[in-house]
Amino acid sequence: MEFSPKFFYNGFMEYLILGLAVIVIAIALSFFANLFKKQGSKVPPKKTKSNTNQNASNGPGLVTCPMCGTPLPKGENLVSKVYRPMNVPDQRCTISGCPHCYPMPEPGIKRQCPCCKKEVPINGYLIARLFNYKNNKKHVMVTGCSECCKH
């Protein structure tokens, strides 16, 4: 019987391939384990993100009426008129009030100008400048009322 180096070689190659397969499986397993770990760690930041979004919508999203100072919940808007042109960064607008002070002021609510502190009549209004920022955010700056801008 002759010792066959070919058979030895084939057997060695089979072991080599088997060994490689084991290594590949081990790498794949650790890869999937990392993937699951990452997915697991991704869940808590998502929760905190949604929490911060809720906080943000409760905080600066709340608008207070410049006429009577009533905080307006979502869905209640100021009664305002914006004058054309619409696509300039600084528009003139008038604010008649909010649902709490216009057209009928609720009991205990005063229509007061934030600039001259005078009471604004029901047919009066606040004069404001509306700034349209590039990120679609709007900023309203009250410059006076129909009473103090007369003079």
Least separation, in Å, of the C-beta of 140 and Zn ion?
13
65 binds Zn ion (CB under 5 A): yes
- Please identify, using beta-carbon distances, which residue of 67 and 128 lies nearer to Zn ion: 67
Q: Which of 116, 127, 140, 142 binds Zn ion (CB under 5 A)?
A: 116
**From 7-15, 26-34, 48-56, 57-65, span contacting Zn ion (CB under 5 A):** 57-65
Select from 10-18, 39-47, 114-122, 128-136 the region that touches Zn ion (CB under 5 A).
114-122
* 124: contact with Zn ion by CB under 5 A: no
128: contact with Zn ion by CB under 5 A: no
| Burial class (CB within 10 angstroms; exposed 0-12, middle 13-18, buried 19+) of 144 | middle
Distant-in-sequence contacts of 129-133, Cβ < 8 A, 24+ apart: 129/90, 129/91, 129/92, 129/93, 130/82, 130/90, 130/91, 130/92, 130/93, 131/89, 131/90, 131/91, 132/88, 132/89, 132/90, 132/91, 133/89
x/- contact string, 78-97, with Zn ion (CB under 5 A)?
-------------------x
Question: Which residues, at least 6 apart from 22, have a Cβ–Cβ distance to it below 8 Å?
Answer: none
User: What residue ranges bind Zn ion (CB under 5 A)?
Assistant: 65, 67-68, 97-98, 100-101, 113, 115-116, 144-145, 148
